[in-house]
């Protein structure tokens, strides 16, 4: 075991950590917003809204994330590349990079997985509380923002912590489409120093630390005692 | 876009459909092997966590915590390279030539070890959910330790573990796609080959996704039937 390479590759590792965190934040935030919409849509009584969303969650939960990333990056990416109009456009520098494809795949995945979790949570909120909120004259959006969603999130907090750790682990797949995230940086070090284990072990430690930080942050969130009336 | 006759040419005449289906069979074999191995490891680790000496419990906790916090892809790379390396070192120490590791066995081992961490937690929870009175009743009848595990503990635990384990199987099938990174030719690797040699990336990756989706759909149906059967013995609420 020799970790003397860490000094000379510290920049690469830090850069990789930044990309991993950026992916995590981007897909976490936008994926969560998508998940709320998906959950609400699936609860809708209109089958034109709920049926397509049901198919969406089934497909994204039923296929490997790696395959979804390949479909977007290689499949859709190669279709984009075959149109000169897109190649010439100002969007092309973004469309060429794996980062945005991975981010999109992660967002869609979070939308499906967390959407399913939230659907159950939204249904578990007692009806009477929503009726009470309506009786106070709250508009539908306000009921959602002030009562329905906060109560639902409280119910599934432990699940959401787990999903966030899963999301952190899922970001590692970015390294398969030439994004130098944390694992990608480790692969870079492996290729340049010909050391097999040390870079992987070092990066594994960073992932473990990140996972613990996520759990710690979440367990503090929401601990504020409820104000008694 | 691609026309229908082109599609039949690609999938039927060029034989890629057949190749994909063979890949799917390999994926199922890897997943099944890893599932059984993961169950074995999970059962052992769960027993240790519930009854073992303290140092073993610490070790078991370390295993389940670490293996659930590190990305599966990283673990697969690490175990795959480390495993082959250790084996070759052992062979060298015994004065034998180095061996090339059987990709199938390596894949099963790697995925099984990762799965063990998850199934251990599920099985531990399920064992704890068994009403204590049932185990006490069995002991009162003078049942031996090993027989108690086989006749009472495991059958009573199964209904509680079923939901978690069926979910784990689906996760496992999806995780088995990661094996394509280390180059064993399961479903996704075959899809990669097909996409690379025909340049129809979108078509073949969509086809691969469709096969995975069919596998998960069918497993879901099978688990539902199995779960209904098991739940016959559960108390009705």
Domain locations in chain A as residue ranges: 18-177
Query: What's the CATH fold of domain B4-233?
Result: MetI-like fold (1.10.3720)
Residue length of chain B: 237
**Cα dihedral across residues B14, B20, B23, B28: positive or negative:** negative
CA distance B187 to B21: 8
Which band of pLDDT confidence, cut at 50, 70 and 90, is reported for residue A53? very high
pLDDT value for A222: 60
Q: Give me the residues of B, 110-149, that contact A with CB < 8 A.
A: none
Please state, for a pLDDT cut of 70, what percent of chain B lies above it. 97
Tell me what pLDDT residue B4 has: 79
pLDDT of residue B236: 65
Residue in chain A closest to B192 (alpha carbons) equals A70
Q: How far is residue B182's CA from residue A205's CA, in Å, rounded to a whole number?
A: 22
Tens-place pLDDT, residues A179-218: 999 999 998 988 888 887 888 999 999 999 999 999 888 7
Structure tokens at A217: 């942050």
Residues of chain B with Cβ-Cβ distance to A98 below 8 Å are none
Both tokens assigned to A163: 């999903």
Cα B212 → chain centroid: 15
Q: Yes or no: say if B189 and B176 are a contact pair by the CB < 8 Å rule.
A: no
A192: number of Cβ within 10 Å: 13
Q: Which of B68, B73, B196 to mutate to test binding with chain A, by most A CBs within 10 Å of its CB?
A: B73
- Better pLDDT: B97 or B189: B189
Chain B, window 32-91: residues with a beta carbon less than 8 angstroms from a chain A beta carbon? 66, 68-75, 77-78, 81-82, 85
Partner residue facing B71 (CB), from A61, A63, A172: A172
Q: Which residues contact A37 (CB under 8 A, 6 or more apart)?
A: A111, A115
Residue B133: count of CB within 10 angstroms of its CB = 9
Residue A98 has pLDDT above 90, yes or no: no
Which residues in chain B have their CB less than 8 angstroms from residue A201's CB?
Answer: 78
% residues pLDDT > 90 (chain B): 51
Mean pLDDT of all residues in A87-110: 86
Percentage above 70 pLDDT, chain A: 96
Chain B contacts of A185, Cβ < 8 Å? none
Helix (H, G, I), strand (E, B) or coil at B130: coil
User: pLDDT tens digits, residue range B156-203?
Assistant: 898 889 889 999 999 999 999 999 988 788 899 999 988 888 888 999
Could A67 and B199 be called an inter-chain contact, meaning their C-beta atoms sit closer than 8 Å?
A: no
What ranges do the domains of chain B cover?
4-233
DSSP line for A17-49: HHHHHHHHHHHHHHHHHHHHHHHHHHH-S-HHH
User: Is pLDDT above 80 for A87?
Assistant: no
CA dist B193 and B19 (Å) reads: 10
Q: Is the pLDDT of residue B237 over 70?
A: no
Chain B's closest residue to A204, CA to CA, is: B70
What's the confidence (pLDDT) of residue A213? 92
**Among A134, A106, A130, A120, which residue's Cα sits nearest to residue A32?**
A106
pLDDT tens digits for B64-95? Answer: 988 888 999 998 888 888 777 888 888 888 87
Report the C-alpha gap between B106 and B229 in whole angstroms: 34
* A207/B212 Cβ within 8 A: no
Q: What is the DSSP letter of A228?
A: P
CB atoms within 10 A of CB A106: 25
Match 């959006």 to its residue by tokens.
A141
In this prediction, residues B137-159 reach a mean pLDDT of 90
Q: What is the mean pLDDT of residues B222-236?
A: 82
Helix residue ranges, H only, chain B: 4-8, 16-51, 54-69, 72-93, 103-129, 132-140, 145-148, 154-175, 187-198, 201-230
- The sign one gets for the Cα dihedral A95, A97, A101, A103 is negative
Q: 3-class DSSP state for residue B152?
A: helix
* Per-residue model confidence (pLDDT) at position B165: 92
CB B156 within 8 A of CB B134: yes
CATH architecture of the domain A18-177 equals Orthogonal Bundle (1.10)
What phi and psi, each to the nearest 5 degrees, are found at residue A227? -70, 130
Tell me the pLDDT tens digit for each residue of B7-31.
Answer: 787 777 788 888 999 999 999 999 9
Determine the Cα–Cα distance for residues B174 and B68; give it in Å rounded to an integer.
16
Whether A74 and B195 have beta carbons less than 8 Å apart is answered as yes
* CB pairs A-B closer than 8 Å: 110
What is the structure's pLDDT at A132?
94
Lowest mean pLDDT among A60-74, B68-82, B86-100, B139-153: B86-100
Query: Looking up tokens 């199922």, which residue turns up?
Result: B28
Give A74 to chain B, closest Cα distance, Å: 6
Question: Cβ A70–B192 below 8 Å, yes or no?
Answer: yes
Handedness of CA A36, A39, A42, A45 (dihedral sign): negative
| Average pLDDT value for residue range A40-45 | 93
pLDDT digits (tens, 9 = 90+) for A106-144: 999 999 999 999 999 999 999 999 999 999 999 999 999
Contacts of B199 in chain A (CB under 8 A): 78
Q: What confidence score (pLDDT) does residue A227 get?
A: 53
Res A224: pLDDT = 53
In the structure encoding, which two tokens stand for residue B233, read together?
Answer: 């013995």
Q: Where are the alpha helices (DSSP H) in chain A?
A: 5-8, 10-43, 47-62, 65-70, 77-81, 84-88, 92-95, 98-124, 127-135, 140-143, 149-155, 157-171, 182-193, 197-220
Cβ–Cβ gap B69/A208 under 8 Å: yes
More confident residue, A88 or A157: A157
Tell me how close the Cα of B76 comes to any Cα of chain A, in angstroms: 11
Q: Report how far Cα B136 is from the mean position of its chain's Cα atoms.
A: 33
What was the pLDDT predicted at A226? Answer: 53
Helix (H, G, I), strand (E, B) or coil at B148: helix
All residues of chain A having their beta carbon less than 8 Å from the beta carbon of residue B191 are 67, 70
- Span B202-217, pLDDT tens digits: 999 999 999 999 999 9
Please report residues of A whose CB lies closer than 8 A to that of B209.
Answer: 59, 63, 67-68, 71
């Amino acid at each position: 075991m020799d970790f003397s390479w860490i000094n000379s590759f510290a920049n690469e590792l830090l850069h990789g950590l930044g990309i991993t965190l950026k992916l995590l934040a981007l897909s976490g935030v936008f994926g969560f917003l998508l998940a709320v919409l998906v959950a609400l849509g699936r609860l809708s009584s209109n089958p034109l809204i709920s049926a397509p969303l049901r198919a969406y969650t089934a497909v994204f939960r039923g296929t490997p994330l790696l395959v979804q990333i390949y479909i977007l990056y290689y499949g859709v990416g190669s279709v984009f590349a075959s149109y000169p109009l897109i190649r010439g456009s100002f969007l092309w520098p973004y469309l060429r990079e794996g980062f945005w494809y991975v981010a999109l795949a992660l967002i869609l995945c979070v939308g499906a997985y967390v959407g399913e979790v939230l659907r159950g949570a939204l249904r578990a909120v007692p009806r009477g509380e929503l009726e009470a909120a309506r009786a106070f004259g709250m508009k539908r959006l306000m009921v959602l923002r002030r009562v329905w969603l906060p109560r639902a999130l409280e119910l599934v907090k432990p699940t959401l912590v787990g999903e966030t750790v899963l999301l952190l682990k899922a970001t590692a797949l970015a390294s398969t489409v030439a994004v130098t995230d944390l694992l990608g940086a480790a692969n870079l070090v492996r290729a340049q120093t010909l050391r097999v284990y040390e870079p992987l072990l070092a990066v594994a430690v960073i992932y473990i630390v990140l996972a613990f930080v996520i759990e710690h942050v979440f367990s503090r969130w929401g601990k504020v005692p409820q104000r008694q009336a | 876009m691609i026309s229908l006759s082109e599609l039949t040419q690609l999938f039927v005449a060029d034989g890629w459909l057949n190749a994909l289906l063979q890949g799917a069979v390999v994926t199922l074999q890897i997943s099944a092997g890893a599932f059984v191995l993961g169950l074995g490891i999970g059962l052992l680790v769960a027993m240790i966590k519930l009854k073992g000496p303290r140092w073993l419990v610490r070790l078991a906790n370390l295993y389940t915590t670490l293996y659930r916090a590190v990305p599966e892809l990283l673990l697969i790379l690490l175990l795959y390279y480390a495993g082959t390396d250790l084996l070759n070192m052992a062979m060298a120490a015994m004065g034998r030539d180095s061996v090339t590791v059987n990709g199938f066995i390596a894949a099963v081992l790697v995925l099984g070890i990762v799965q063990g961490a998850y199934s251990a937690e599920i099985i531990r929870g399920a064992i704890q959910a068994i009403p204590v009175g049932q185990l006490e009743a069995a002991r009162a009848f003078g049942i031996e330790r090993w027989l108690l595990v086989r006749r009472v503990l495991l059958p009573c635990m199964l209904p509680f573990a079923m939901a978690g384990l069926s979910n784990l199987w689906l996760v496992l099938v999806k995780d088995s796609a990661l094996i394509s990174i280390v180059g064993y030719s399961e479903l996704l690797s075959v899809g990669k080959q097909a996409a690379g040699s025909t340049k129809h990336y979108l078509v073949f990756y969509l086809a691969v996704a469709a096969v995975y989706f069919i596998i998960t759909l069918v497993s879901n149906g099978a688990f539902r039937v199995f779960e209904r059967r098991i739940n016959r013995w559960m108390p009705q609420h």
